[in-house]
């Protein structure tokens, strides 16, 4: 809410598909994860950087991102699913969330409440946890494992701060490393094929992660 001439005015914010797409795409490209039990690091920032060195690879990885975005859905109160590419805009009024699909009326989702009036309160959640997907696929990811070892080094990246530094150093010198980009993208596609993503309030997603 904001104050205007001594009065409290509630902000009514509307986020169109293009705005949300850019936000969610940025999240997908930055989902770096350390899987200590697998001795493996999932490194989308490195995959993106490596693919950017080749126009065809860059086109393919962006296509994979786009396909994954289009699979994102949001549950309505009647449990009907709306795919992200069907959404014209999402609107936040106070703590309530409304969804407007193309060629249909705006719908209020009673079960979807946010704590703040901004689009960062709308998060992406994995229906099947990413660590479960990676664990199930680990024997089919030799190139991603190879990249993980190159980025982590001998001692590995044991926390997020170290990982951030490892990625920064690696990406600055990425052209000096031998990465099979085609295999990297094939294996990333396997992971994406198993992903089922849906939208949920940020506070709900955080609480879920603490269980």
pLDDT digits (tens, 9 = 90+) for 18-56: 998 998 999 999 989 999 889 999 999 999 999 999 999
Q: Which of 139-148, 167-176, 181-190, 194-203 has the lowest mean pLDDT?
A: 194-203
Listed by start position, the domains of the chain span 2-210
pLDDT at 9: 40
Q: Which of 72-76, 104-108, 114-118, 126-130 has the lowest mean pLDDT?
A: 114-118
Concatenate the DSSP letters of all residues of 144-179 into one string: HHHHHHHHHTTT---SHHHHHHHHHHHHHTGGGS--
- The whole-angstrom separation of Cα 124 and Cα 198 is 6
User: Does the global pTM surpass 0.75?
Assistant: yes
Four-point Cα dihedral 3, 110, 74, 137, nearest 10:
110
The tally of CA atoms less than 13 A away on the side-chain side of residue 125 is: 17
pLDDT digits (tens, 9 = 90+) for 97-107: 889 999 888 98
Pick the more confident residue, 95 or 73: 73
| pLDDT at position 3 over 70 | no
pLDDT at 69: 92
Structure tokens at 139: 């024997």
pLDDT at 1: 47
Average pLDDT over residues 58-85: 90
């Amino acid at each position: 809410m904001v104050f205007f001439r001594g009065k409290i005015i509630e902000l009514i914010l509307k986020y169109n598909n293009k705005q949300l797409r850019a936000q969610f795409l940025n999240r997908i490209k930055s989902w770096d994860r350390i899987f200590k039990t697998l001795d493996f690091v999932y490194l989308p920032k490195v995959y993106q950087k490596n693919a950017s060195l080749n126009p065809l690879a860059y086109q393919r990885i962006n296509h994979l991102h786009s396909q994954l975005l289009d699979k994102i859905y949001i549950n309505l109160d009647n449990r009907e699913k709306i795919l992200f590419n069907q959404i014209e805009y999402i609107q936040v009024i106070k703590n309530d969330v409304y969804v407007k699909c193309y060629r249909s009326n705006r719908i209020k989702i009673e079960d979807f409440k946010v704590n703040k009036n901004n689009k960062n309160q709308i998060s992406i959640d994995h229906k099947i946890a990413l660590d479960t997907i990676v664990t199930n696929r680990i024997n089919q990811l030799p190139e991603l494992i190879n990249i993980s070892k190159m980025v982590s080094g001998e001692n590995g990246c044991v926390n997020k701060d170290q990982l951030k530094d490892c990625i920064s150093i690696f990406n600055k010198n990425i052209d000096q490393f031998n990465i099979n980009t085609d295999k990297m993208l094939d294996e990333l596609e396997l992971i994406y094929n198993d992903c089922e993503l849906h939208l949920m309030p940020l506070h709900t997603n955080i609480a879920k992660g603490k269980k």
